[in-house]
Amino acid sequence: MITIKTPEEILIMRENAQKLSEILAEVVSHAKPGVSTLDLDEIAERLIVAWDAKPSFKGYRGFPGSVCSSINEEIVHGIPSADRVLQDGDMLSIDVGLIKNEFCADTATTVPIGSIDDRVQRLIEVDQEALRLGIEQAIPGNRVGDISCVIGEYIEAQGFGIVKNFVGHGIGRQMHEDPNVPNFGRAGKGPKLRAGMVLAIEPMVMEDPQGTERVIEDGWTVVTPHGGWAVHLEEMVLIGDNGPELLTDGHSLSDSLFTPAGVSSASLG
Ligand code: MG
């Protein structure tokens, strides 16, 4: 069942999503060479708890962290660890969630650590555009497949791979609600979108055009099939009466992508 949020519920969800966007920005500002992913996890958890919210990832099906931290060929669900120390030239995906006043928020971004090469920058830009295209389709009367289709077709047209087993989702009182929002599919198929639905749209792009992602031995971390790098972005979108309304702050769209410390936005091209 797909829940329709009341105006009062949407107010709570917007407040939670905005705060979570701020928290993500603060965490990302600490993502530098020499910092471990456990350091970032601790920062996120401290900020969430300080706002009287709970980290929604922690304990979810036994997940140990408050964030998922996925580096380079890791796509999603990386476990924060003191042993995973960021290096110059890495690319880091941070995914974070909270629950407050009975409603969940969930958002993610991918940022370069220090200097990155053009190929990595290109991968980020393709995912930004895929996300933008998907959000554009989040309008009443469209179907979930309209979102899925534009995301998947764009990524494949750029020569990159799509992730099939991990998908976006509805969100509300539960972190994962109906409907699933895959990053591939057919236009005109799937559940119809109605005003008041809230979706977490989260395209993932793999450098590997062929093959299927897999989960490694830790039972969580999802990696690319052939070791290519991957980007993951996630924003929360309300289906508004007149079109999509971002509940998160749009941090993963185009020029608003976080600039890593010490690198000017100009040098990122
Ligand atoms: Mg999500």
| pLDDT tens by residue, 153-210 | 999 999 999 999 999 999 999 999 999 999 999 999 999 999 999 999 999 999 999 9
Question: Considering the domain boundaries, does residue 107 fall inside one?
Answer: yes
CA–CA dist 26, 18 (Å, integer): 13
Write the pLDDT tens digit of every residue in 68-97: 999 999 999 999 999 999 999 999 999 999
User: Ligand 1 center to residue 131 CA distance, Å?
Assistant: 13
Question: Considering the domain boundaries, does residue 264 fall inside one?
Answer: no
User: Ligand 1 center to residue 134 CA distance, Å?
Assistant: 15
- Entry pTM: 0.93
Say yes or no to pLDDT of 218 above 50: yes
Q: What residues make up the domain containing 38?
A: 7-252
User: Ligand 1 center to residue 188 CA distance, Å?
Assistant: 23
Task: Give the up-direction half-sphere exposure of residue 127: CA atoms within 13 A in the CB hemisphere.
Answer: 31
Q: How many domains does the chain have?
A: 1
Write the pLDDT tens digit of every residue in 37-77: 999 999 999 999 999 999 999 999 999 999 999 999 999 99
Backbone angles phi, psi at 253, to 5 degrees: -105, 130
Question: Considering the domain boundaries, does residue 258 fall inside one?
Answer: no
Question: Considering the domain boundaries, does residue 95 fall inside one?
Answer: yes
Q: What is residue 252's predicted lDDT score, i.e. its pLDDT? A: 85
User: Ligand 1 center to residue 266 CA distance, Å?
Assistant: 30
3-state secondary structure of 16: helix
Q: What is residue 116's predicted lDDT score, i.e. its pLDDT? A: 86
Contact in structure between 43 and 18 (CB atoms under 8 Å): no
Write the pLDDT tens digit of every residue in 136-168: 999 999 999 999 999 999 999 999 999 999 999
62 Cβ contact list (under 8 Å, min separation 6): none
What integer best gives the mean pLDDT of the chain? Answer: 93
CA–CA dist 184, 145 (Å, integer): 8
User: Ligand 1 center to residue 92 CA distance, Å?
Assistant: 16
Q: Which is it for strands 204-206 and 230-232: parallel, antiparallel or unpaired? A: antiparallel
59 Cβ contact list (under 8 Å, min separation 6): none
Could you give the percent of the chain with pLDDT greater than 90? 91
Question: Considering the domain boundaries, does residue 47 fall inside one?
Answer: yes
Q: What is the CATH number of the domain that holds 203?
A: 3.90.230.10
User: Ligand 1 center to residue 39 CA distance, Å?
Assistant: 22
User: Ligand 1 center to residue 227 CA distance, Å?
Assistant: 23
CA–CA dist 81, 150 (Å, integer): 35
Question: Considering the domain boundaries, does residue 268 fall inside one?
Answer: no
Residue 203 carries which side chain, given as an amino acid letter?
A: P
Say yes or no to pLDDT of 135 above 60: yes
Q: What is residue 261's predicted lDDT score, i.e. its pLDDT? A: 33
User: Ligand 1 center to residue 105 CA distance, Å?
Assistant: 9
Question: Considering the domain boundaries, does residue 167 fall inside one?
Answer: yes
User: Ligand 1 center to residue 57 CA distance, Å?
Assistant: 10
Question: Considering the domain boundaries, does residue 195 fall inside one?
Answer: yes
